[in-house]
Amino acid sequence: MSALTFDIRILRSLLSIAETGSVTETARRLGRTQPAITLQLQRLEGLSGRELFRQEGRRMVLTRDGELILTYAKSILRTHDELVSKLSSDEIEGHVILGIPDLYAAYVLPDVLSHFRQEFPRVQVQLQCRLSTPLVQLVHRGEVDVALVTRMNDFTGGQVIHREQLVWLTGTNSKAHEDSPVPLALLPPGNIFRDYAIEALESAGRQWMISCISESVSGLQAAVFSGMAVTVLGRHAMVPGMREIVPNDDFPQLPKVELLLYKSRASTSPAAHALHEYLSFYLGSTRQEVERSIPHPLSGTAAL
């Protein structure tokens, strides 16, 4: 899947452009800048590989592919608004501890929390960034209310809300992937990203060495940016300065990993329930429904 995360703003922009036929009017309606709306549309068209609008005079008109995606967008927006209406209340307030690895905190969470804060301004969310295994333990002990983690082999329970494709990543101009043994930048032992990377190289008969161990994605990125190593992350974590290595005999296709959402049994407050339900909907059904609506996703291509 592409690195793009579909959020409600993109879908609302799509709907507004379809209604008004104008990026300028959409920007005015939604209180955003015209370049921001244009960028959202370009990202959506880039992901689908299709033009969603055609120009007829001064008006933008949906193409057939655009009409298809708009049908799903309307359904998602309706469900989203019903969920918010059901959960939202001036009486919902409180403090919630959300546990999440910094990998997802940096690339998945910002849009979600931004919207949640707008809908539930009286709920205070405290982030606790840890690796997945200790976070699950904290949830079970009731020290973290809600947690979004990567499924490890020994995890039980939790709600599967997304499946993320793992990819090999190297620096834009790096040749580290040509070295033998290949230098790796990986998370600490016990992490499934690390296990899959090593298993794949050994199955291919490729020699490897550890050049960087980091609990933080920023450490892995630094090793990749510098050209000193290859890493394995979810495709959504690829940023400028990185490029994906297309699977080949030396770097076999990696599996997908599951993102799990946990809620502590001890967390019974309306605030914790609202955050859990919001994350479940926002990260689960929104992405999946829009992804299914796209005619030909670009997930099989190398992202540079």
**pLDDT over 50 at 138, yes or no:** yes
Residue 174 in this model has a pLDDT that exceeds 70: yes
Residue 304 banded pLDDT, cuts 50, 70, 90: very low
Taking only Cα atoms into account, the Rg of the chain, rounded to an integer number of angstroms, comes to 21
Tokens encoding 292: 């299914």
How many percent of the chain have pLDDT more than 90? 44
User: Is the pLDDT score of 104 beyond 50?
Assistant: yes
Phi/psi at 72 (5° precision): -70, -40
Instruction: State the average pLDDT over residues 162-173.
Output: 92
Both tokens assigned to 236: 């959504």
pLDDT, position 56? 87
Domains of the chain: 8-87 (1.10.10.10), 94-282 (3.40.190.290)
Please report which confidence band the pLDDT of residue 85 belongs to, taking 50, 70 and 90 as the band edges. low
CA 277 to chain centre: 17
Q: What is the mean pLDDT of residues 145-158?
A: 90
With a threshold of 0.75, does the pTM exceed it?
no
Find the mean pLDDT for residues 205-211: 96
Quick one: pLDDT band at residue 69, thresholds 50, 70, 90?
confident
Beta-ladder partners of 263: 146
The whole-number pLDDT of residue 301 equals 27
Identify the three-state secondary structure at position 215: coil
For range 130-156, the mean pLDDT: 92
Closest CA to 252 of 171, 174, 152, 177: 177
